[in-house]
Structure 1
């Protein structure tokens, strides 16, 4: 019976071709969100490898990011800094690029660190966020916005938030006052669920992101507050949003993890394999094998959310 159905379908296809019709598989759109982000993740992790702060590979990643930003027409400025840790002084740098609206001095900062831990290749933590921001920058390249968008890629996050602290600590009062929000991205590929957080007293960016995700049918959540140390909707100060939050700037933080397992603190990212970040499993080969389709899905989800979020904050410009 199955062979007969196959024969019938083959004959039908042949008749359609003879009649001037062709049957083609539906190709995925070339501009599908997340595709370009994946290519960036692939290059950073497989083309360069681990990007430990202060090493040659961190410098290679910095050069790559700056070149990609320059290709998009953004002038990538390198902000070098030094820091001392365990009596050792190291050099690193932030990469800063501005999408200038030409209309206002108000700005939104979008940031992520590009260095990685010594173990693994840093696909989840944090090439994923670099890829999402670079693709979002391309999507917004020719889009008119009523505010500036400043893309910052931080060095040496794994050494104690060195890059973000250096940038935030050197902001002048006028820039702090004119910064509408800081959106941080960290570790987007591996987690069982996707989240957005805000600060306890200023959660409007978080709520806007949740609203956007709902309209796009993307299952974005926030911290459910099962751990009293981290109230619902908030998170800890362990990533690059923290220095900006300390400066009084409204923050949002996007990541993929699982707040309902382990110590209920968001550190244990997956039910099946526990934490991925800072382990040998933080590479694309493992992630694609252990969670088929998850890396691509996460990059699609976060690229879509971030792009729409940056285009929908116009009501906050005053």
Structure 2
């Protein structure tokens, strides 16, 4: 997640919710009651990626298994799905898993989360949590006519230099870039002390402003970077995650994250008062986070799923006021 370089529509009521794992795995089933609680499906996806598959290091077999799992989920949901393979060195390859949902307009929003992790810990927070919210939102919205078409992307090889998002953004045509009104990035949603949404400075920050308006209306505990550090003006963040390649193309971004901008160097690197950063450490496991912060994971996944779903349902590019 941070400084990676140096560092509710229910479409599956009346039946079991079936998750498809890797090509060789038996389907995983859960009670349909999970569909009635925001964040519950996201939690199961997150848990499967972290606990059943484990660390998903870029280029590894586990990363490939995670890609297969995500592809299976998109296909089960019924979305048009493709796998975008890419090489990021002479001997390393990965893939982006891309799903398309048609909206009222051919203009599109990209929603992305990386599914790889570092080797230490299990990558629950960074970033099985983001993938869980991505997949739950895709499920909830699949039969809802959204204002814009949505491209859901699970990025590979983020932890080794944003390779998946760079590859995708660099292979967008000029017409596709022009047709994309924004990119929403989901990264490390589960462990941090506070939930945030960021965006561009100025008028291009409309995604952040609409998200904050939804949070205010629904009384969701989501805020934005307070701007205590002059290097990161209020409402913005650094270019250390998968939003950055799209921002570089002139595409406005929104970015959901859980951390703490009011401790340490006031740069968002220290997620928690008690334990500092959870990401990229042996603490990034579900067992540790739930023992230290009971209920936090469920609260965060519920909040972010609710926020993202409403944002995609009511997105209005022309509105920039809270």
**Category of TM-score, reference length = shorter chain:** 0.7 to 0.9
User: How far apart are 1:105 and its partner, in Å?
Assistant: 2.2
The residue aligned with 1:13 is none
Equivalent residue for 1:231, pick from 233, 250, 268 = 233
Contact 1:113/1:157 (8 A) holds in 2: yes
The residue aligned with 1:163 is 164
What do the CA deviations read for 1:198-229 (whole angstroms, capped 9, x no partner)?
11131111010000011111111100111111
The residue aligned with 1:7 is none
CA 1:315–1:160: 2 relative to 1, 3 Å: closer
Equivalent residue for 2:61, pick from 32, 56, 75 = 56
5+ long unaligned stretches in structure 2 = 1-32
Matched, 1:212 2:217: no
The residue aligned with 1:132 is 133
5+ long unaligned stretches in structure 1 = 1-27
Q: Distance in 2 between matches of 1:100 and 1:54?
A: 31
Matched, 1:117 2:128: no
Moved over 2 A (4+): 314-317
For the residue of structure 1 that corresponds to 2:211, the secondary structure is: helix
Q: Distance in 1 between matches of 2:130 and 2:306?
A: 13
For the residue of structure 1 that corresponds to 2:122, the secondary structure is: coil
For the residue of structure 2 that corresponds to 1:150, the secondary structure is: strand
Q: Distance in 2 between matches of 1:30 and 1:74?
A: 18
What do the CA deviations read for 1:234-255 (whole angstroms, capped 9, x no partner)?
0000000000000000101100
User: How far apart are 1:146 and its partner, in Å?
Assistant: 2.9
For the residue of structure 2 that corresponds to 1:203, the secondary structure is: helix
Matched, 1:247 2:249: yes
RMSD of the TM alignment (CA)? Answer: 1.3
Contact 2:220/2:303 (8 A) holds in 1: yes
Q: Distance in 2 between matches of 1:114 and 1:195?
A: 20
CA 1:251–1:315: 2 relative to 1, 3 Å: closer
Aligned ranges for residues 1-318 of structure 1 at < 5 Å?
30-84=35-89, 89-101=91-103, 103-201=104-202, 202-314=204-316, 316=318
How does the TM-score come out when normalised to structure 2? 0.87
How does the TM-score come out when normalised to structure 1? 0.88
What do the CA deviations read for 1:147-190 (whole angstroms, capped 9, x no partner)?
21000110000000000000000100111001011000100000
Q: Distance in 1 between matches of 2:129 and 2:279?
A: 12
Q: Distance in 2 between matches of 1:187 and 1:104?
A: 30
Aligned residues: 286
Contact 1:111/1:240 (8 A) holds in 2: yes
For the residue of structure 2 that corresponds to 1:310, the secondary structure is: helix
User: How far apart are 1:232 and its partner, in Å?
Assistant: 0.6
Contact 1:78/1:96 (8 A) holds in 2: yes
Structure index of larger Rg: 1
